[in-house]
């Protein structure tokens, strides 16, 4: 066997070690972006999730005005912090609708009373069906939807104060 | 997701079992939920129930084994205990029971999550090494064998 061939195992080992080290230092992104961005919202009709608030259907998201669609749940810990950001966005003119995933009216009412309620409409999605139809893989997620009902942008994870200018700009552009 | 059984309880004094409390403590630490909250709704109806028609159930099983869980990435939805995986199993079984083809359901999910959601290798360029590597290895093997035979026959 020639000398060059003998080096192959060592080169393979080095390649493996470098590859593993690189992934340790720079872990892969585990967020799964929705392929529904730039497509119209999927057809759906969801019943009201809490008494005194209308449910949500695809038609409510194509009213000629841009909307924020927040996919959330009362049992979701990061959603607690996000409600305050959504409240501030609402004060600055954003229209916010919600889809409550796997939630009960009682728990949701308590959540909204305690943490604040920025939502115009909330649809209840007890089997994550509409969440899946949006290509969303967890809570919370927020979609920017334009006046024609086309999804413009997806935010994976809780919105925070630093996201606000961007979201407001995108809503302005989505008119 | 993190299924920890409590360590065996030992009764009576025993000098050698000093590791038991340590192990119990470790189990307690490891089983503390890490900000992964679950909802208070029960699993969807078809998430852990087989379809009455065995042929349909077999189709659903085959498809579920090839769909990737969005929460426990690396597991299939057939294997995962995540709620979202349960809801996806419910969706797959309901659609198959309604007469939808597995390929249509897979396509519908790929439209939402990309080819990421499916374990079935595609024919897109990114997957070409996957198809070509076995071929290349086979050729390399054939070459090596041929070389050996030639060397032997020279002796």
Q: Map out the domains of chain B as residue ranges.
A: 1-37, 42-120, 123-155
Whether the predicted pLDDT of A111 surpasses 60:
yes
CATH no. for residue A162?
3.40.30.10
Q: Do A137 and B71 touch (CB under 8 A)?
A: yes
Whether residue B37 lies within 8 A of chain A, CB to CB, comes out as: yes
Residue A156 within any structural domain of the chain? yes
For A22, the token pair is 């690189």
User: Nearest-5° angle of CA A30, CA A154, CA B91?
Assistant: 70
Residues of B in contact with A127 (CB under 8 A): 44, 87, 90-91
pLDDT digit string, tens, across residues B126-146: 889 999 999 999 999 999 999
Stretch A62-68: mean pLDDT, rounded?
94
Query: Which residue from B35, B87, B114 is facing A35, i.e. has the nearest CB?
Result: B114
Domain tally, chain A: 1
The lowest-confidence range among A30-44, A55-69, B76-90, B121-135 is B121-135
pLDDT at site B59: 96
Write out the residue range of the structural domain in which residue A81 sits. 45-173
B42-120: CATH superfamily = Cytochrome C biogenesis protein (1.10.8.640)
By the 8 A CB rule, do A120 and A21 touch?
A: no
* CA atoms of A46 and A61, how far apart (whole Å): 12
Residue A24 within any structural domain of the chain? no
Tally the C-alpha atoms within 13 A of residue B117's C-alpha that lie toward its C-beta.
24
pLDDT digit string, tens, across residues A112-148: 999 999 999 999 999 999 999 999 999 999 999 999 9
* CA atoms of A152 and A134, how far apart (whole Å): 12
* CA atoms of A23 and B142, how far apart (whole Å): 35
Q: Phi, psi at residue A45, to the nearest 5°?
A: -135, 120
Band (B33; pLDDT cuts 50, 70, 90) = very low
- Does the ipTM surpass 0.85? yes
Residues of B in contact with A104 (CB under 8 A): 40-41
Whether residue B67 lies within 8 A of chain A, CB to CB, comes out as: no
Q: CB B139: neighbour CB atoms within 10 A?
A: 10
**Could you say which DSSP state residue B60 is in?**
H
Placement of tokens 């390649």 in the chain: A15
Residue A166 within any structural domain of the chain? yes
Residue A88 within any structural domain of the chain? yes
Nearest C-alpha neighbor of A93 from the set A125, A121, A116, A65: A65
- Least Cα separation, residue B132 to chain A (angstroms): 19
Is the preceding omega at residue A140 within 30 degrees of 0, hence cis? yes
Tally the C-alpha atoms within 13 A of residue A39's C-alpha that lie toward its C-beta.
12
pLDDT at site B37: 66
**Structure pTM?**
0.80
Beta strand pairing status for A141-145 and A67-72? antiparallel
pLDDT at site A141: 96
State the distance between the two ends of chain A, measured CA to CA, in whole angstroms: 70
């Amino acid at each position: 066997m020639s000398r060059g061939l003998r080096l192959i195992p060592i080169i393979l080992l080095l390649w493996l070690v470098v590859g593993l080290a690189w992934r340790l230092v720079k872990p892969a992104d585990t967020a799964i972006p929705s392929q529904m961005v730039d497509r119209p919202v999927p057809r759906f009709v969801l019943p009201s999730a809490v008494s005194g608030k209308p449910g949500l259907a695809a038609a409510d998201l194509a009213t000629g005005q841009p909307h924020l669609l927040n996919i959330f749940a009362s049992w979701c810990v990061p959603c607690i912090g996000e409600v305050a950001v959504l409240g501030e966005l609402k004060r600055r003119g954003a229209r916010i609708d919600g889809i409550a995933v796997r939630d009960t009216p009682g728990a949701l009412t308590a959540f909204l009373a305690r943490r604040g309620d920025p939502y115009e409409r909330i649809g209840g999605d007890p089997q994550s069906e509409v969440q899946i139809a949006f290509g969303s893989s967890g809570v919370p997620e927020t979609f920017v939807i334009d006046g024609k009902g086309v999804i413009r942008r997806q935010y994976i994870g809780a919105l925070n104060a630093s996201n606000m200018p961007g979201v407001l700009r995108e809503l302005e552009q989505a008119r | 997701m993190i299924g920890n059984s409590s360590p065996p309880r030992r009764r009576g004094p025993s000098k050698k079992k000093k590791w038991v409390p340590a192990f119990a403590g470790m189990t307690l630490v490891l089983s503390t939920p890490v900000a992964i909250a679950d909802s208070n709704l029960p699993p969807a109806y078809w998430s852990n129930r087989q379809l009455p028609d065995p042929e349909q159930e077999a189709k659903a099983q085959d498809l579920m084994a090839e769909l990737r869980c969005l929460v426990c990435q690396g597991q299939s939805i057939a294997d995962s205990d995540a709620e979202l995986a349960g809801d996806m199993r419910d969706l797959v079984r309901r659609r198959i029971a309604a007469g939808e083809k597995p390929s249509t359901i897979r396509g519908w999910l790929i439209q939402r999550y990309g080819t990421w959601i499916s374990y079935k290798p595609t024919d897109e360029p990114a997957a070409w090494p996957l198809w070509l590597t076995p071929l290349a290895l086979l050729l390399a093997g054939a070459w090596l064998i041929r070389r050996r035979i030639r060397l032997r026959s020279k002796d």
